[in-house]
Chain A
Amino acid sequence: MTLGLHLAVLAVLAALQLVLPPFHHGMVARVMVLAAYAIGYNLLLGYTGLMSLGHAIFFAAGMYGTGLTVHHGGFGVAAALVVGLAAALAVGAVVGVMTVRTAGPAFLIVTMMLAQAFYLATLHFNELTLGDQGFILPALEVTLAGRAFALADPAVKYNVALVVFGACLLASLGLVRSPVGRVLVALRENEERTRLLGYHTGRYRVLAVALSGLVSGLAGATYTLLFSYVGSTFAGVLYSIYPLLWTLLGGAGTTLGPLVGTLLMTYAIDVTSGITDAYLVIVGAALVLTILWAPAGVVGGLRARWARWLP
């Protein structure tokens, strides 16, 4: 039933591209990539119980790893993607090891500080990264079964986003239902007791941070390949707060929550930005309202009321 539901969601997303008008077609493609980022965040917040305020470091590691190798090294899509993923995984492992002894707000502040240092570094080394201004990637294509697909083509963009999102969604579902996922949930519920049961809680925590970093980095790398831009904005505080908001709004600790939260929030921001320049006020309002009245999020609320079986 659960696997069926997730496949049905992916099928709906796949079918949507046939009916969506061009603007929404592009929006949903973007939402799917960002939702993959939120899935990475949710692995940590929702299933391991660690609230990070520095996930932009992973997203940006994927983005810069991929973007810089394309820009300076002339790498192809596949090779650049591998570099991006390796960078994100490495950063994830380092952050995981560094934060292994911190809990609660301390974890949050350490991740925030590390991400801020990374962000400042992207500004400081601006001969390499072009800092704030960033750089635009050349037109890229992927070759599949002898045919070349240009990533700039909207249909290709949508389907690459769908494949990446689908892979992250199914992988997260697989992970949380696996024995490893159960241990992570045990960590969330009670780290001390999990340790007493004989699990190496430290190792599982490092693993959780590294995996979360890897998924977030995959989203960052995909984002840069599809939307051809690399810039330090994506390493900034806002891009650490977004996945927190998307995950909380959709429902932390639910596999479908990240998609729901990202979809709702991306459209809410789009509508608000048509009304005022200060559209980020909606981010603040959504954070406060969610934490006050819907701490379980949309999918979490549905699960509590009607569908206990939702993963």
Chain B
Amino acid sequence: MPVTLGPHLLLALLEGVVGALVLALTALGLSLVFGVMRIVNVAHGAFFMLGAVVTWYVSSATGSFLLALVAAPLAVGGIAVVADRLVLRRIGYEPESTIVATIGLLYILEQLVLMTYGPYARPVAAPIYFRIDFGWFGYSGYKLVVAAAAAFLLVAAWLALSRTTLGLYLRATQQDREIAQAFAVPVGRVYSLAFGVGGGLAALAGALIVPVQQAHYLMGLDALLLSFVVVILGGLGSLTGTVVAALVVGLADGAVSVLFSPTLAKIVATLLVGVVLAVRGRGLFGEELA
């Protein structure tokens, strides 16, 4: 056993880091939407899946993965904004109605993809292909590029939130909607923006992961559940907490998946979150969900 434990641990660590950074990107979108709009977006996983599917369409039509990487978040962000205007705004962002509406949105998007794209799991060739030899095993270089890209995007998102006027609007609306409005922040548009950016971040994560995971119309559910896990453990509305929790959960998930079984890892994660939220309504850090 000790002879083989080393490579297993290294593999678990690598898988964990890659998974964790992509998860952080996905969950950041969910956390932003919750923080700014005070709503739980059940369709978040569908946005992740759409990002992957759009990437497949664009990169197989044009042959350019980079173009797809730009197109996916823009297209999905656009869809999210339309959904916000057509549905969520009309029900006044009432928490439970919003959840029902986003469940509906999830099924509409998922089934429309099934109608057009079909029930297949289709791969997209990685734009860069190289292997890194760790002695015991070779590891896909693209996965490490994904991790680096996700980390870069997280930093970019943090800069955008903390250094730009739009970021200021988002943070102001999150802190106090009415005061923000009194200071001429266009709260209605900020809501649409938050929903669009949230969807776009999920789509970006989905786009990055396609070459590793393949695009499939049901891939959103796992992404959604893990994002919930992360957002709740990290604290509702706390973006830093979300990123930290994503790293912890992603690493733990990678380790348990490699060493035991992926299903067991998910059982542990979902039970953990159920218990945490049941005992402490606000998650480990952050604000009360009510």
A interface vs B, CB < 8 Å? 51, 53, 98-99, 101-106, 108-110, 112-114, 116-117, 120-121, 123-124, 237, 241, 244, 248, 276-281, 283-292, 295
Shortest distance in angstroms between B146's beta carbon and chain A's nearest beta carbon? 26
Residues of A within 8 A of B99 (CB): 51, 53, 105, 108
Contact of A291 among B100, B267, B274, B281 (CB under 8 A): B100
Whether, in the assembled complex, B163 has its beta carbon less than 8 Å from a beta carbon of chain A, the answer is no
Q: Is the CB of B107 within 8 A of A109?
A: no
Most chain-A Cβ atoms within 10 A of its Cβ — which of B107, B115, B221, B289?
Answer: B107
Q: Is the CB of B95 within 8 A of A104?
A: yes
Chain B residues 103 to 144 lying within 8 A of chain A, measured CB to CB, are 103-112, 114-115, 119
Q: Is the CB of B108 within 8 A of A285?
A: yes
Known A51-B99, A108-B40, A237-B221; judge A288-B104 contact (CB<8 A). yes
Whether, in the assembled complex, B228 has its beta carbon less than 8 Å from a beta carbon of chain A, the answer is yes
Whether, in the assembled complex, B240 has its beta carbon less than 8 Å from a beta carbon of chain A, the answer is no
Bound Cα distance from A104 to B289, whole angstroms = 8
Shortest distance in angstroms between B95's beta carbon and chain A's nearest beta carbon? 5
Chain B residues 155 to 186 lying within 8 A of chain A, measured CB to CB, are none
Residues of B within 8 A of A244 (CB): 100, 103
Residues of B within 8 A of A279 (CB): 111
Contact of A278 among B105, B112, B266, B274 (CB under 8 A): B112
Q: Is the CB of B107 within 8 A of A280?
A: yes
Shortest distance in angstroms between B283's beta carbon and chain A's nearest beta carbon? 9
Residues of B within 8 A of A98 (CB): 274-275, 278
Q: Is the CB of B101 within 8 A of A106?
A: no
A-B contact pairs, 10 of them (CB 8 A): A103-B281, A106-B277, A117-B271, A281-B112, A284-B104, A286-B104, A287-B103, A288-B104, A291-B104, A292-B87
Residue of B whose beta carbon sits closest to that of A277: B114
Shortest distance in angstroms between B122's beta carbon and chain A's nearest beta carbon? 17
B interface vs A, CB < 8 Å? 40, 87, 90-91, 95-97, 99-101, 103-112, 114-115, 119, 221, 225, 228-229, 232, 261, 263-264, 266-267, 270-271, 273-275, 277-279, 281, 289-290
Shortest distance in angstroms between A186's beta carbon and chain B's nearest beta carbon? 19
Residues of B within 8 A of A103 (CB): 281, 290
9 interchain residue pairs of minimum CB distance: A284-B107, A287-B104, A281-B111, A284-B108, A288-B104, A113-B274, A278-B111, A278-B114, A278-B115
Most chain-B Cβ atoms within 10 A of its Cβ — which of A99, A105, A123, A286?
Answer: A105
Shortest distance in angstroms between B110's beta carbon and chain A's nearest beta carbon? 7
Shortest distance in angstroms between A279's beta carbon and chain B's nearest beta carbon? 8
Q: Is the CB of B289 within 8 A of A292?
A: no
Q: Is the CB of A113 within 8 A of B270?
A: yes
Residues of B within 8 A of A53 (CB): 99, 103
Bound Cα distance from A291 to B95, whole angstroms = 12
Shortest distance in angstroms between A196's beta carbon and chain B's nearest beta carbon? 18
Known: A104-B289, A285-B104. 12 other contacts (CB 8 A): A101-B281, A105-B289, A109-B277, A110-B278, A117-B270, A120-B267, A280-B111, A284-B110, A287-B103, A288-B87, A289-B104, A291-B97
Bound Cα distance from A295 to B98, whole angstroms = 12
